[in-house]
Structure formats: C-alpha cells, structure tokens
Amino acid sequence: MATINKNLSEYDKNAIPNTKGFRFGIVVSEWNENITSGLYKGAVEALLENGVAQDDIVSWDVPGSFELVYGSKRMIETQSVDAVIAIGSVIQGETKHFDFVCEAVSQGIKDLNVLTDVPVIFCVLTDNTMQQAIDRSGGIHGNKGTEAAIVAIKMANLRRQTS
C-alpha cells in the first residue's frame, strides 16, 4: 500500500468491529529495534484503543525478520490467538541479503495464511533507507503498526464470522 498522501495511523474508528473476546499475538523482530519498537507501540496502542484487554495481547520477540515466520507459527500453535501481527524491518543494504530475507518472510507469512486458520498480518517494513523506515514507524507517514493492528482486528472478526 502506497503511503503517498496517506497517513498509516488514520482509520475510521466507527468501522472497527467489536473486539470483545479476541486475543491477539504480536511477534516482533529485534533487528532494527529502533524501528520495530515503534511499530509495536503503534500496534498495541491501536488494539487497546479499540477495546482489546492488555491481557489479551501476547507478545514475543525473535532475533530477526527471517524468524518471524517460525515465531508466528509457534504462537498460533500454542497461544490460542485470533490473529498474529508479524512486525519486522528490513532495510536495503549493499548485498542481496535484503532480497532473500524479504522474499522468505513474505512467502512464509503467506504460507501461514494459507495453511492455518489464524490470520497472520504482514507488518514488515521493507525500505530502501533508514529514513523511510522511521517515517513509517511513527514518523511523517504515521505508523504501519497501527494499520496492522486494525487489519488484525478486521481479520479476526472475519475469522469469527466465517467459523
């Protein structure tokens, strides 16, 4: 989703489903922690603002974005969550490592969405520069973590409605 002329933190609170009884998981990469901590803060604040109880938010840290897939899978298997938000930040460097990590994480999260009954929300920034990541983790473009939390609520609601 393009961020031009869009603040990632803006949403219509009247369009958000009731969160009573929902339990959310958040798996956070420790790599680029200055970015992922901002995304995490945005996600938690949005969940709480929309009625999710603090006790219904389970958070785990993993070393890097590559490990988000395994962490999300284990959270689904062990924590009885209605949705998982996978939070990471991969910033382009001088090698192809960026391409491999981004591809693996996006495909892994897609696979979890296909293979499990719990939605996993992709909140992984894949930016060219640190400034772009800062701008999207609480900076001038808002917070992708907020947006991911709203998506998680909507997808958990869809899961509930279609069960």
Contacts of 25 (CB under 8 A, 6+ apart): 57, 58, 59, 60, 72, 75, 76, 79, 81, 83, 84, 85
> Residues 81-116, buried b or exposed e (16+ Cβ, 10 A)?
bbbbbbbbbbbeeeeeebeebbeebeebbeebbeee
Name residues whose C-beta falls within 8 Å of residue 80's C-beta, 6 or more positions apart in sequence: 23
Is residue 97 among the annotated active site residues?
yes
Write down the catalytic residue from 7, 70, 78, 97: 97
Which residues belong to the active site? 97
